[in-house]
A and B are shown apart, each in its own frame.
Chain A
Amino acid sequence: MIDNIIIGKYVPGSTVIHRMDPRAKLLTIFLYVFIVFFANNGITYFLLGLFTFIIILLTKLPFSFLWNGLKPVIWIVGFTFLLHILVTKEGDMLFRFGFFSIYEEGLRQGFFISLRFIFLIFMTTTLTLTTTPIEITDGMESLLKPFKKFKLPVHELALMMSISLRFIPTLLEETEKILKAQMARGVDFTSGPVKERIKAIVPLLVPLFISAFKRAEELATAMEARGYRGSEGRTKIRQLKWGAIDSIMMASILLLSIILLLLRA
């Protein structure tokens, strides 16, 4: 059960991409999400694809990992593809069967939009596969720091996130324990009508919530006893290091953005 959780999908490694500063990765993804929408013709899509492909190659991850990331959303991709084919009625008609007609433009649009989706998912999957959740949190905290001026509780949000991440395995273990305890008492989680099965979850959730609250309270006490009093005057053991690779990555994504802007139709 613990292995199935998506957040634990980090694959340890020491490639260039693994070693990148999480801030650089996050900024790259952020820009990428925008420029994916710049692309609107063959050449721009080709360049975008090439960039994505090179990054994937650099991670040295087997393609199956990326495919796993794509799997949950493949239906959405397929659906958008179909929708575009059926709705867009421009260009030459390619095919007709009763009501249905497929136009050249529809096919083109459907294909490109699906590609956009796939590129986006590949890039974000690459991020989560090569970066630990805690690194992502650190990166976010650092990037959001300027927003502190606008009363955004950046440090608190980051701490909340890292504590949640740290407690996921603990709570999963607990869930399994409660599940087994309730099964031993005769609760049936796996068969019967949907309504019954939903009802069976209640004796799982109630003890889980009670214990989660208890844990939260104890953790708060422990943190207080260890002198935690908010972000003021706090130092950090985790350090982010911006290296040459990071600058190169930023330069290349910026360059790509400019090229795409120039070449788009």
Chain B
Amino acid sequence: MSAFKDFDTTWVMVVDIDKCTGCGACMAACQTENNIAPQPDASNKLRTVSWMTVYELSNKMPFPDHDMAYLPRPCMQCGNPPCVSVCPVIATDKNENGGIVSQIYPRCIGCRYCVAACPYHARVFGWYDPVWPEGMQKTLTPLTSTRPRGVVEKCNFCHHRLNLAKDAARAQGKNPEDLEDGAYKPSCAEICPTGAISFGDAKNAKHKVHELIKSPNAFRLLERLGTKPQVYYYSKREWVRRQGDNYLKSEKV
């Protein structure tokens, strides 16, 4: 595995699981923002393309102690990405300030090593040609390139929005490498009706996420693998935090 990569700017997402209602607006916003074509058979979950998936968590207790939660899962943009080191053609890399793991579709040969390497199931393979039914092509955006069948794709924190935010900062005479809090936000964070998704630069003390990730209630998924994800979750419920990794019964989370 490659070494941990650190950057001056680290874009992180913090998802407050206690606020998430599982409505799926983030998934819908992601699909339209990133030109994900309507699926030929959306019921076949092994072959659907989804960059952002909401998982349902349960504490598996009988009534009246039963409790549940929802966990939206984008790409974790790992600090130590397992997908990057296995790519034989360097179609994916973590080399830009901000730490977003890039995926270059024309370079991808569709070997799917990265899909197997990702412990978060964040990467998906395009099994079908992207087809927009008559009229629906109007939803296409020029900001994201479409992917052909046979390549791997994944969430990139709506990277085009970062480029646009930098352009806007330049036009206003501001430093594009020091964006204000909220100047750059992925579409899922923008659409979330309960405001469960926060986004910002973890290295910038002026950004809200800088403090959020220091909370004892903040955790990351499978943290002990050492992947150092840039997506944090937040929950005051101990059973939710416990599901973030494989803990022994004796361990406190």
| B and A form one assembly | no
Instruction: Give chain A's interface residues, CB within 8 Å of chain B.
Output: none
